[in-house]
Structure 1
């Protein structure tokens, strides 16, 4: 099971690679469970400050949920389907969305169904110019169950999202960038270098401030502006007594680079 996701660590950056290229990195139940375990490990290690998530092989980031794996749960009836398939997938995308360290999706190929939902859930995404995105669940006779009907409209707007959801038609990487599904598109051979360069920028910041930004945005998106401002203020209050905020301000005054320790 460990081979379903590869973990490599380079300094403060952990790279997770979905490693089922023979299935276009389809996400089966064991992959979901293993990804949770690895995220727990990364969260507990203070030396790790950013995550890159990508897929093995040249064809796919992820083709989505493994149909052969989840079909038995669906055919067992609504109660089993909700417990084993829907809630498991929603827990994963919610975990990715709320993770306190920045996750960068390096989308190296097609990202369909659940693979697109993973891209929607993580805070940042860079796509290869070969990448394509689709909400393919409609062609299997169901609506996206891993959060796609909720996150995609919030990211790209209701009408654009419904066009993808109701047709299942793919879009290319540049269209995904233009509508806000990914941050950047780079030549395929430069994808991992671009993801590592972005991760390096993030790991140079205060990990406490990064976590505060992630929490404020993720929580605030679904709140009124007044409630969101209260979340923002509470995150600042948590930072106000830290060494990192003192270091950042002092370094600015002294005209030197700040060195953040996460304390």
Structure 2
């Protein structure tokens, strides 16, 4: 089994478990990640996901090179289907997941590992974590969505410096760029990820899903289209128990402010 899943209260902890291979993403591992995400989505008792890697050396070193080499040797059509197709499917799934996905980067996040981090709505990194876009050293651009998401997240020039050089950056630089939310000591990584998850899941699941959807769908649209998405997402919550409970709780506090 290359992907483990555990339940920690309302949080699913999904671990890429190929430690000897630096948690590289071969095709069975990608398929297993997609399968575990399907299980989490269908389980209403699970409200959030923490995605991490086994061991302390790597979150994920990216695509499994022997698998990638075999696909490329099979020609363009096969490479597009097996490399780009699977990579895009996984990162889109993480990006559009209806429950918050928090990546806990426990070591190097290179190539596809960095692209998983980019796709996730939230990320926390251990102090020793490093990030890189080394695909250019293999002769091709990022194939799991990194050429599109990274510039949107950190700006075109900053993204191109990483993409065109392939040079690694430390966790401290990643947080400055906005690639991760925060950096913590390695022995505090999972606790920090759990704390963030629990600060989210205390809120109504319908509200959490609506917020995720509004931001993810609207972020790259012109403002008027984005506002239409916001209105649509707000509308999905109006008749929910989450709104009724939230308003009732606020009104019974006897105050007109959020203080």
TM-score range, shorter chain: over 0.9
2:217 equivalent among 212, 219, 224? 219
Structure 1 equivalent of residue 79 of structure 2: 81
2:53 equivalent among 48, 52, 55? 55
Structure 1 equivalent of residue 230 of structure 2: 232
Structure 1 runs not aligned, ≥5 long: 257-263
What's the CA shift string for 1:20-61, capped at 9, x where partnerless? 000000000000111111111100011100000000011000
Partners of 1:184 and 1:61 in 2: how far apart? 16
Partners of 2:120 and 2:244 in 1: how far apart? 30
Q: By how many angstroms is 1:84 displaced?
A: 1.1
Partners of 2:135 and 2:42 in 1: how far apart? 34
Structure 2 equivalent of residue 65 of structure 1: 63
Partners of 2:14 and 2:134 in 1: how far apart? 24
Structure 2 runs not aligned, ≥5 long: 255-259
1:48 partner SS: coil
Partners of 2:203 and 2:99 in 1: how far apart? 11
1:90 equivalent among 88, 91, 94? 88
Structure 1 equivalent of residue 106 of structure 2: 108
1:27 partner SS: coil
Could you say what the CA RMSD is over the residues aligned between the two structures, in angstroms? 0.8
| Superposed structure 1 runs of 4+ greater than 4 Å apart | none
2:200 equivalent among 191, 199, 202? 202
Number of residue pairs matched by the alignment? 254
Structure 2 equivalent of residue 118 of structure 1: 116
Partners of 1:198 and 1:252 in 2: how far apart? 23
Q: By how many angstroms is 1:69 displaced?
A: 1.2
1:185 partner SS: strand
TM-score, length of structure 1 as denominator length? 0.95
1:1-263 matched pairs, under 5 angstroms = 3-255=1-253
Partners of 1:82 and 1:22 in 2: how far apart? 27
